[in-house]
Amino acid sequence: MPHRPRTVQKPKNLISHNCSLRNDTKNIPKNYGKAMLSFIQKNSREVKEVLSKYEVNHLQFMMFVKSFKSQINTIHDLREMWG
């Protein structure tokens, strides 16, 4: 009988845990960014006060926030938002 080398397999639960951890890590900046933009949307009055000090159009800014909220996926996306 020929000798077959043994293969070592990772336990399946370890593999799924690593994938889950990787996905959770990817979601952190996405969730953080969306939370910041949700805060801006929910506190429109306070945001309007701040924007007026910097002469930024409130309506345009809120439209930008709404459109950008669906595009955030990475830290790089957040940095791009701040220009």
Q: How many domains does the chain have?
A: 1
Q: Which residue carries 């949700």 as its tokens?
A: 38
Tell me which residue range forms the domain holding 72: 12-81
Instruction: State the Cα–Cα distance between residues 73 and 31, nearest whole angstrom.
Output: 8
Residue 76, pLDDT score: 85
24 lies in some domain: yes
| 28 has pLDDT over 60 | yes
4 lies in some domain: no
Residue 16, pLDDT score: 56
Note the pLDDT tens digit of each residue in 42-60.
999 999 999 999 999 999 9
1 lies in some domain: no
Note the pLDDT tens digit of each residue in 4-26.
666 666 555 555 556 665 666 67
Say if pTM beats, i.e. exceeds, 0.85.
no
